[in-house]
Amino acid sequence: MPLDAKRNSLGFAKAPSDTRVVVAMSGGVDSSVVAAQLAEEGYDVVGVTLQLYDHGAALAKKGACCAGRDIHDARRVAETMGFPHYVLDYENSFRESVIEEFADSYLGGATPVPCIRCNERVKFRDLLETAKDLDADCMATGHYIQRRLGASGAELHRAADPVRDQSYFLFSTTSEQLDYLRFPLGHLEDKAATRALAAKYGLPVADKPDSQDICFVPNGDYASVIEKLRPGAGEPGHIVDLDGKPLGTHHGVIHYTIGQRRGLGIGGLSEPLYVVKLDPETRQVVVGPKSALATRLVPLRELNWLGDAPLESRSEWHIGVKVRSTRPPREAILRPKGEGFAEVELLTPEEGVSPGQACVFYDMDSTRVFGGGWIWRGY
Q: Which residues are annotated as a binding site for ATP?
A: 24-31, 50, 142
Q: How far is the C-alpha of 131 from the C-alpha of 49, rounded, in Å? A: 12
Give the relative orientation of helices 222-229 and 100-107 as an angle to the nearest 10 degrees: 100
Secondary structure (3-state) at 353: coil
Residue 51 · residue 59 · CB < 8 Å: no
Q: How far is the C-alpha of 255 from the C-alpha of 249, rounded, in Å? A: 12
| Residues recognised as catalytic | 118, 215
Counting every residue written for the chain, the total comes to 379
Secondary structure (3-state) at 122: helix
Amino acid code (one letter) for 219: N
Q: How far is the C-alpha of 80 from the C-alpha of 76, rounded, in Å? A: 6
The string of DSSP codes covering 231-242 is TT----EEEE-T
Amino acid code (one letter) for 199: A
Residues annotated in a binding site: 24-31, 50, 142
Q: How far is the C-alpha of 181 from the C-alpha of 159, rounded, in Å? A: 15
Q: How far is the C-alpha of 274 from the C-alpha of 291, rounded, in Å? A: 9
